[in-house]
Amino acid sequence: MAEKKQVEQITSMEVDFAQWYTDVVKKADLIDYTSVKGCMVFKPAGYAIWELIQKQMDERFKATGVENVYLPMFIPESLLEKEKDHVEGFAPEVAWVTMGGLQPLTERMCVRPTSETLFCDFYKNEVHSYRDLPKVYNQWCSVVRWEKETRPFLRSREFLWQEGHTIHATFEEAEERTVQMLNLYADFCEQVLAIPVIKGRKTDKEKFAGAEATYTIEALMHDGKALQSGTSHNFGDGFAKAFDIQFTDKDNTLKHPFQTSWGTTTRLIGAIIMVHGDDNGLVLPPKVAPTQVVIVPIRQQSEGVLETAQKIKDELTAAGLRVKVDDTDKSPGWKFAEAEMRGIPVRIEIGPKDIEAGKAILARRDTGDKSECGISDLAGTVETLLDTIQKEMLERARTRRDSQTYTATNREEFDKIFAEKSGFVKAMWCGDVECENKIKEDLSVTSRCMPFTDEKVADTCVCCGKPAKHLVYWGRAY
């Protein structure tokens, strides 16, 4: 009964996907709610996933020349207002500080919603000559955006992220870095998180406030909704002009440099849950699973069982794997269900009869398949199995995304798909924001991106029938 009860606590995703998601993040012990409305506690199991994301992403950043810095969390109002489009874009979400101790501040300060203005203020004193360029910086921090509706990992008033900020001598260098970081995000999502993404450019309506161009990676969740999973922005020289950043170039003339910004957040954890999870809880890709292997001793009080389990753990740990022995006094059935709930990729079952036969049972979390393995062969077999799980999780996610990607050549087809199904819809667009607004108003559907791949599915705009300029991926989104 204990095992059944553990799973019954999760609402089926087919019954209520939103409730399923909430159940999973709670029952898998990832987060907890707080008395600070809209803010969450990252419990150890949730924060450990973020640590693994951070560690592996940071390694990739540094391989491209990125250096980490840290800037203040407060931004004076006068500084924020220097870039008009930028401040207007963030104004509805800004949290303001007006008191310092018991004294009113002479100038109110916002708690950073993002740090472009701070970096510009910093660069103004840092960059003087072409020899000072480029600066390729990133910071890991939290930001505050006063969201009306919040959901764990996906949207909260304070969230964790990384924000890269770079400054270059030429537009071409800035553009190269913008695209480079987007490709890094896409590769990371696919290779580490086992999440396939669509790469493309945001429309002007959806681009970052103050940017010349915003590039995005869009992922499709199990329920057919899109999730913007990372963005990279080319600011051109707009911010440099607004903040009067200049440098002396090789020809001895003063010029404005060009900037980029790029970021991903803890919503990547939400993406992992919604792409891979099932009605038994989390299904974690091995590369971001805090525990990759759990060893469950059967009849653990029997002679030699716990000793053998510990020996197996030591061998697997020596092979570089993250391993835990569940030697609690819970029943094996409960331990199995708990390991499933937490998404641990591989479970090893070992009992007196297994030891006598010189073997152990391996169980995969993603498929539920079980197999036998000689105890002496476990290290190599488990390493290979984890690699297989990682690859097959990506393949399954890509197959599901492709099966939920549709094509519409006219408005009737477009409306019919969104009335009956959920997913991405590829359709042509004339480039007019009025059509974009009308589709959003009529269907609660937004443009997700204009993909980099050159594809044409019709000659006319899906909304107005005028000549089309761009293929767009459309969808309902988180």
Tokens of 322: 């993250």
* CATH fold match for the domains 2-276 and 291-386: no
Instruction: Give the CA distances from residue 363 to residues 7, 254, 373, 380, in Å, rounded to whole numbers and listed in that order.
Output: 18, 65, 11, 15
Let me know: does 216 contact 233? Beta carbons within 8 Å: no
For strands 293-297 and 346-350, give the pairing. parallel
Interacting residues of 112 by C-beta distance below 8 A, sequence separation 6+: 72, 73, 74, 75, 118, 141, 143, 144
Whole-model pTM over 0.75:
yes
CATH class of 405-475: alpha beta
Q: What is the C-alpha separation between 63 and 232, in angstroms, rounded?
A: 18
| Domain boundaries along the sequence of the chain | 2-276, 291-386, 405-475
- State the Rg of the chain over Cα: 25
Name the CATH code of domain 2-276 (choices 3.30.930.10, 3.40.30.10, 3.20.20.70, 3.30.70.2190). Answer: 3.30.930.10
* DSSP string covering 370-387: EEEEEGGGHHHHHHHHHH
What single letter denotes the amino acid at residue 211?
Answer: A
What single letter denotes the amino acid at residue 9?
Answer: Q
Q: What is the C-alpha separation between 222 and 270, in angstroms, rounded?
A: 11
Let me know: does 108 contact 96? Beta carbons within 8 Å: yes
Cα end-to-end distance, the chain, whole Å:
36
Let me know: does 307 contact 355? Beta carbons within 8 Å: no
Instruction: Give the CA distances from residue 364 to residues 187, 335, 387, in Å, rounded to whole numbers and listed in that order.
Output: 25, 14, 12
Per-residue pLDDT 10s for the chain (478 aa) are 334 444 557 999 999 999 999 999 999 999 999 999 999 999 999 999 999 999 999 999 999 999 999 999 999 999 988 877 777 877 889 999 999 999 999 999 999 999 999 999 999 999 999 999 999 999 999 999 999 889 999 999 999 999 999 999 999 999 999 999 999 999 999 999 999 999 999 999 999 988 999 999 999 999 999 999 999 999 999 999 999 999 999 999 999 999 999 999 999 999 999 999 999 999 999 999 999 999 999 988 899 999 999 999 999 999 999 999 999 999 999 999 999 999 999 999 999 999 999 999 999 999 999 999 999 999 999 999 999 999 999 999 999 999 999 999 999 999 999 999 999 999 999 999 999 999 999 999 999 999 998 789 999 999 999 999 999 999 999 9
What single letter denotes the amino acid at residue 217?
Answer: I
Let me know: does 11 contact 21? Beta carbons within 8 Å: no
Burial (CB count within 10 angstroms: exposed 0-12, middle 13-18, buried 19+), residue 129: exposed
Let me know: does 335 contact 327? Beta carbons within 8 Å: no
| Selection from 406, 442, 399 nearest residue 421 by Cα | 406
Q: Three-class SS of residue 420?
A: helix
Architecture (CATH level 2) of domain 291-386: 3-Layer(aba) Sandwich (3.40)
CA 372 to chain centre: 35
Let me know: does 446 contact 205? Beta carbons within 8 Å: no
